[in-house]
Amino acid sequence: MGIEERGYFTLDEVLQLPGCPPQEQLAGRRLAVVECGHEIPCNPCETSCARGALTVGETITSLPVLDAERCDGCGSCMADCPGLAIFVVDLTRGDGRAEVWLPHEFLPVPAPGAVVVVAVVAAALVAPSPSFVREIRIGRGMFLSQ
């Protein structure tokens, strides 16, 4: 089954995208993960990044390329992406848990403290096993826990 039928990228597909940081660079850092793979004419992610960490280039249908060395995980590109294709993965907590920031279009907006089950492939980058529970705690970020 391809992405068109499935509706989302698999982890293996995300890892092949030029907007996905190398997994070895995630440790102890907060980085953008760009799940953008459709070669559409679009580049707000590039123009929103003050650090020059995302490049689409002159051919506006090119896939965005992340320079993980420049990215500080500020999330500006995530806020400006019309495709909701950018997540921020934060491994700076130092308590064995990861935090994932994600854009959403839930309506009605879940109340603070609500638990919403979602599939976020970027989260799999930091989850040691598929059995991890993935929760969004609205207003407090998203945490992974066993």
Residues binding ligand SF4 (CB under 6 A): 32, 34, 36, 42-45, 48-49, 51, 53-54, 56, 64, 71-77, 81, 83, 85-86, 88
Q: Minimal distance in Å, beta carbon 57 to ligand SF4?
A: 11
Residue closer to ligand SF4 (CB basis): 34 or 127:
34
Angle formed at CA 131 by CA 129 and CA 134, multiple of 5 degrees: 100
- State the Cα–Cα distance between residues 14 and 12, nearest whole angstrom: 5
Nearer CB in complex with ligand SF4: 58/108: 58
What minimum distance in Å lies between the beta carbon of 146 and ligand SF4?
A: 27
How far is 41 from 87, CA to CA, in rounded Å?
20
Distance between CA atoms of residues 146 and 2, nearest Å? 30
